[in-house]
Amino acid sequence: MKYGLIKVAAAIPGVRVADVDYNVQQIENLIAQAEGKGAEVIVFPELSVTGYTCQDLFRQQLLLEKAEEAIIKLLDFTRKLDIISVVGVPVRIGPLLYNCAVVVQGGTILGVVPKTYLPNYCEFYEKRWFASAADLMPQDIYLAGSLIHVSAEPIVFRTCDGVGFGIEICEDVWAPLPPSNNLALAGADIILNLSATDELLGKHNYLCSLLAQQSARMMCGYVYSSCGFGESTQDVVYGGNAMIFENGRQLATGDRFSLEPQLQIQQIDVERLRGERQNNTTFRTAQDGATARVVYAKSVNARPFELVRPVNPHPFIPEDGQMTSSCEEILNIQTMGLCRRLHHTHCDKAVIGISGGLDSTLALLVVVRAFDKLGLSRKGIIGITMPGFGTTDRTHDNAVSLMTSLGISQREISIAKSVTQHFEDIGHDAAVHDVTYENSQARERTQILMDVANQVGGMVIGTGDLSELALGWCTYNGDHMSMYGVNGGVPKTLVQYLIRYLAQLPAFAEQRDVLIDVIETPISPELTPADEQGNIQQKTEDLVGPYELHDFFLYYMLRWGFRPSKIFMLAQHAFEGKYDDETICHWLQTFCRRFFNQQFKRSCLPDGPKVGSVSLSPRGDWRMPSDAFSTLWQKECEALER
């Protein structure tokens, strides 16, 4: 394991019912393939050594003895392999027969886990042949020449890297209290399920939902392998399911109803899972009383690291299949938050600065939706353009066009004269375009908005977004301040996406062209003069870096608590071919430095709605001292650069 990632495999071998020699050969073939591809754990279907559908053949001594001989063969085959293999075998313990998972590594049996819940309804008759783990008296047995302790006690197996995994068998996960509940609470990061689920209309979708929910509820990885082609079709059909889940998300799935063996390999991020559990106080409380015996696997040789799981370069952007529902959900959260604040304060006026940029455009559209929802006149929305030294015709015209077409009240108040007077008052040379030059304009605009709000009995709506707050790219007590910030939980990449989504709606057909141009306009605070052709000269991403990189860093640092080296590795894969290593490393350093240095601005944010899994509100998700040092993070970034 490296970067907290462990490579796991779900295998579905070819099978011949009761032909143990053939089945073991198929299992060995897939173990060899998985070992060659760097898998550290592989799980096979329920009773994979004999076949699940042997029925009364499970009472035949020959079959049971051959099954034990098969374990001996697997021990010999795996003697020089590092991979941990989990196979399904019928095991005699005393006078009873148990449906078991046998865990094998490096020629050694690490443990035996019997099935707890035996289905005995509809097409299932397992109690005819097998006893439940609940019937098992703790004892030592010889299995394949090895002395093994067996009991109903839960077992958490731990790899040499400390990754814990537990095992349940088929019906166990369908039970009201699955064994995986206790296993996960007792420290299992991953659950392996050896299964034999038959195919019925609608059952597969239910199964996927069940496994996704269980992995989400227990905040674990879940590796599922169910028998397929080759099992008897006397009464039912087995389609073969090789699936891997992580905290509610499906990472891999095989080709159901395939006639060929299947091998699904994927990486599970154990660091991510542990971070989620660490932050979840409910999980911590539920752990009380959860116990399991711990069995340690053998040490293995280190292998070259290769990332095989995909990395989304834009983690805040909804997936295509969820685009409409996700965008509506986000916009409704923003709208409802503002509706509640307006209703609570008996306010029917909203004052908002309109620059023609992304953030103010989205905020204005949210305010319009809120006023429409409350049945208030759009004339109660006072949009103010405040041209300054860097305002361009493009952004100004877009702002005016947008306000006109939306039917809100408009005011234009130039800040040039008042800021020039302010420069004289404080003795600042207007030819020096430094931070004083820029921030004086931002604070003047905020003063105008606040004073107009007093004038009309209204509320100033903040437009700053989550990405700007993370970087501190806002003027303290300037655009940093408002009476309600509707965009405070929305990162810049998502702002662009939401505006593009709104532009496609019939309700904003009249504004479509303007909205698209707003998206295509370079991001800029427009606080320094334009060039000779009147184009924007001060481009934010030239100064602080690409927002798509910063949003990527923000997501993995705050949502999952990843260290810079892991974020860098993920960014390398996510942005391969777009940004080189030097560029990624440079802006990662910038992000870490600015994120720490600018916390004081986030410590006194105005109220605003949380819309996603990452928030910087000091009253909610993120509580950080303003005086924390970024030394550790900066040193790791510098090491990457070297």
- Is residue 467 one of the residues assigned to a domain? yes
Q: b/e per residue, 44-78, with b = 16+ CB within 10 A?
A: bbbbbbbbbbbeebbeeeebbebbbebbebbbebb
Feature table: binding site: 121, 203, 353-360, 439, 463, 468, 473-476, 601
Do both 264 and 392 map to the same domain?
no
How many residues would you count in the chain? Answer: 642
Q: For residue 477, what are the CA distances in angstroms to 293, 455, 521, 600, 639? A: 57, 20, 26, 11, 36
Cα–Cα dist 220/212, whole Å: 10
- Is residue 301 one of the residues assigned to a domain? no
| Positions of the chain with pLDDT under 50 | none
Domain boundary among 263, 296, 329: 296
28 belongs to the catalytic site? no
| pLDDT tens profile 238-274 | 999 999 999 999 999 999 999 999 999 999 999 999 9
Do both 328 and 181 map to the same domain?
no
Give me the DSSP letters along 448-476: HHHHHHHHHT-EEEE---HHHHHHT-S-T
Q: Are strands 108-114 and 96-105 parallel, antiparallel or unpaired?
A: antiparallel
| β-sheet bridge partners, residue 90 | 99
Q: Total domain count for the chain?
A: 2
492 belongs to the catalytic site? no
How many other CB atoms are there within 10 angstroms of residue 329's CB atom?
14
Identity of the amino acid at 593? R
Do both 420 and 355 map to the same domain?
yes
Domain hosting 201: range is 5-296
- The active-site residue out of 115, 349, 492, 610 is 115
Which DSSP category does 386 fall into? -
- Is residue 184 one of the residues assigned to a domain? yes
| β-sheet bridge partners, residue 350 | 381, 459
pLDDT, residue 386, reads 97
Cα–Cα dist 332/328, whole Å: 6
- The active-site residue out of 54, 170, 220, 585 is 170
pLDDT, residue 478, reads 94
Feature table: binding site for L-glutamine: 121, 203
260 belongs to the catalytic site? no
Do both 327 and 291 map to the same domain?
no
- Is residue 307 one of the residues assigned to a domain? no
Model confidence, pTM:
0.92
pLDDT, residue 539, reads 80
- Is residue 546 one of the residues assigned to a domain? yes
Helix %, strand %, coil % of the chain (to 5): 45, 20, 40
Tokens 């040789």, residue located: 301
* Helices 492-503 + 547-554 axis angle, to 10: 110
For residue 400, give every residue at least 6 positions away whose Cβ sits within 8 Å of its Cβ, in sequence order, or none.
385, 410, 412
Q: b/e per residue, 149-169, with b = 16+ CB within 10 A?
A: ebbeebbbbbbeeebbbbbbb
Do both 526 and 586 map to the same domain?
yes
pLDDT, residue 496, reads 94
Do both 369 and 499 map to the same domain?
yes
Cα–Cα dist 243/254, whole Å: 6
* Helices 358-374 + 393-406 axis angle, to 10: 10
Do both 524 and 595 map to the same domain?
yes
How many other CB atoms are there within 10 angstroms of residue 425's CB atom?
8
* Helices 512-520 + 393-406 axis angle, to 10: 150
Distance of CA 201 to the CA centre of its chain: 31
Q: Cβ(23)–Cβ(236) under 8 Å? A: no
Feature table: binding site for ATP: 353-360, 463
Domain boundary among 296, 328, 358: 296
Helices (H), ranges, 186-307: 203-217, 270-279, 281-286
How many other CB atoms are there within 10 angstroms of residue 261's CB atom?
21
Q: Are strands 41-43 and 190-195 parallel, antiparallel or unpaired?
A: unpaired
Do both 253 and 349 map to the same domain?
no
Do both 232 and 351 map to the same domain?
no
Which DSSP category does 606 fall into? P
- The active-site residue out of 28, 40, 46, 636 is 46
- Is residue 312 one of the residues assigned to a domain? no
Do both 276 and 378 map to the same domain?
no
Feature table: binding site for deamido-NAD(+): 439, 468, 473-476, 601
Residue 60, domain CATH: 3.60.110.10
- Is residue 304 one of the residues assigned to a domain? no
| pLDDT tens profile 464-486 | 999 999 999 999 999 999 999 99
pLDDT, residue 353, reads 98
Cα–Cα dist 217/184, whole Å: 10
Residue 492, domain CATH: 3.40.50.620
For residue 431, give every residue at least 6 positions away whose Cβ sits within 8 Å of its Cβ, in sequence order, or none.
none
Do both 204 and 328 map to the same domain?
no
- Is residue 308 one of the residues assigned to a domain? no
Do both 38 and 157 map to the same domain?
yes
